[in-house]
Structure 1
Amino acid sequence: MKSLTDNGITSFEDIQTEHVRNFIVKISETRSKSMDDVIYTLRAFFCYLCENDLYHDNFWMLLAAPRCRDHHVRNCLSSEEISLLLGCIGRESSDGKRDFAAMYLAAVSGLRAGDIASLMLNDIDWKKHEIRLVQGKTSEPLIIPVPKAVLNAIADYILNGRPETPDKKVFVRHCAPFRGYHDGVSISCIFRKYLKNPVRSM
């Protein structure tokens, strides 16, 4: 916040790309070894602002640049860790129903976050237990068989948790305006939120 006030910024709406870029350059002078944490925190911060309608841009292109790491990339989650992650999601609330359905679909299908964010209601063939979509990254059509348990979780969200909205995307924001996610950043933020639980302590 000090960086914002030093630049005369008193409202989130006044933040521009150059402010974020200049902040990254300045902080790298003293925290070169922890820039991965800095970028992660910035992503989470702007994701939160967008989710709560406090800002309109998550600066994904700026904050997605590859960075050098001093540590190994973590292995994929094991089946036991995935089960633990899904188990820690409270499914009583509407948010929980959405998060559980999205994470369950991701775990079973391997779909990219962007494809889950852009999934449309008519992409789901309930009778054939399939999802048919065009992949955002490759523009290739894809047909995925989906277990009944996953479809049940999605149906539970649509029927009992999803806000009333004309938006045709399956997963939508739960604060007005109730619209679908712009990209996969919000889905990734959902994953990170639950990853903070002691999944890796097993």
Structure 2
Amino acid sequence: MDTFFAELSSHLRPASLRVVGNSLRSYFRYRALLGESTAALVASLPRIADWRRTTLPKVLVDAELDAFLKAFDCTDPVGLRDYAIARCLLDLGLRGHEVTYLTLESVDWRSATLTISSTKSKRVQQLPLPVSTGEAIAQYLRRGRPQTVNRALFVRHRAPYDKPLGVPAIRNSMNRAFVRCGLRDRFCNTHVLRRTMATQLQRSGASVKEIADLLRHQSLDTANTYARVDLEGLRAVALPWPGSRP
């Protein structure tokens, strides 16, 4: 088994190796249900180290977040659009493709909710619409959104017109904001805003379950990484180092 995984490791990443290991464990459990002895095979499967969990999630601190939000020119239609997108990413933890599929009908102004219909779980979900997000979207609709027959909430301002804004364009607009506020050497893309939102929730007292629900994670394990951000809470439950003074 070691030779098999050593050969796989020459062309597979650790995440893919973990998938192979989990698949084999499931298969061996199935064979055990059929009456075969698979305990030795299960025991021989190596545990693949997950080095991603050795560091804290990279997020924006308060000063960096303030500089990032001020990097959008809200006197310009494109700046209004990009600022509204940034608020959706930051306040609601939306993914880039979820922003792309937002429509004018996604926003229920009376009940202050936002409907997400393109989640990774393929389920339609409703999220509360924060005041800051709603105000940014409203300003864009009133002063920035061009005349178009397209029902997408965020549309292109340059040719080809009447098209929704794609994920690469959303990513580029956030990267340009990072450049303008001097953070391009530390941050890029949109996922850092999602992680920042989750970290702020954890520091405000939200549980891992609440964070997972808002981020629309199907498994709590995915959101458990934010438990490592609570350094004060971890210090309270940490055991003394062996041999250290009490």
SS where residue 131 of structure 1 aligns? strand
Equivalent residues of 2:106, 2:115 under 8 A apart: yes
**Separation of aligned partners in 1, 2:63 and 2:110:** 30
Measured after TM superposition, the shift of residue 137 of structure 1 is 2.4
Judging changes above 3 Å, is the alpha-carbon distance between structure 1 residues 96 and 183 closer, same or farther for their aligned structure 2 residues? closer
Equivalent residues of 2:153, 2:164 under 8 A apart: no
- 2:114 aligned partner, one-letter code: I
Q: Matched residue pairs, number? A: 131
SS where residue 199 of structure 1 aligns? coil
Aligned partner of 2:64 in structure 1 is: 81
**Separation of aligned partners in 1, 2:120 and 2:69:** 26
Measured after TM superposition, the shift of residue 178 of structure 1 is 2.2
**Separation of aligned partners in 2, 1:129 and 1:179:** 27
Aligned partner of 1:111 in structure 2 is: 94
- The equivalences for 1:148-187 within 5 A come to 148-181=131-164, 183-187=166-170
Aligned partner of 1:4 in structure 2 is: none
Aligned partner of 1:147 in structure 2 is: 130
Q: What fraction of aligned residue pairs are identical, expressed as a percent?
A: 25
Equivalent residues of 1:118, 1:169 under 8 A apart: yes
- 2:156 aligned partner, one-letter code: R
Cα deviations by residue, 1:3-52 (Å, 9 ceiling, x for unpaired): xxxxxxxxxxxxxxxxxxxxxxxxxxxxxxxxxxxxxxxxxxxxxxxxxx
- RMSD value, Cα: 2.4
The answer to whether the aligner puts 1:199 opposite 2:183 as a matched pair is yes
Aligned partner of 1:120 in structure 2 is: 103
Equivalent residues of 2:150, 2:164 under 8 A apart: no
SS where residue 147 of structure 2 aligns? coil
**Separation of aligned partners in 2, 1:116 and 1:168:** 13
- 1:110 aligned partner, one-letter code: G
SS where residue 69 of structure 2 aligns? helix
Aligned partner of 2:14 in structure 1 is: none
Equivalent residues of 1:117, 1:182 under 8 A apart: yes
Q: What is the TM-score of this pair, normalised by structure 1?
A: 0.59
- 2:164 aligned partner, one-letter code: Y
Q: Which has the larger Rg?
A: 2
Aligned partner of 1:10 in structure 2 is: none
**Separation of aligned partners in 1, 2:117 and 2:66:** 28
Cα deviations by residue, 1:149-181 (Å, 9 ceiling, x for unpaired): 211110111111111000000101101332333
- Mind listing any 5+ residue stretches in structure 1 that lack a counterpart? 1-71
Judging changes above 3 Å, is the alpha-carbon distance between structure 1 residues 200 and 188 closer, same or farther for their aligned structure 2 residues? closer
- The equivalences for 1:50-69 within 5 A come to none
Q: Select 2:74's aligned residue among 77, 80, 91.
A: 91
- Mind listing any 5+ residue stretches in structure 2 that lack a counterpart? 1-54, 187-246
Judging changes above 3 Å, is the alpha-carbon distance between structure 1 residues 96 and 182 closer, same or farther for their aligned structure 2 residues? closer
**Separation of aligned partners in 2, 1:179 and 1:82:** 32
Equivalent residues of 1:118, 1:180 under 8 A apart: no
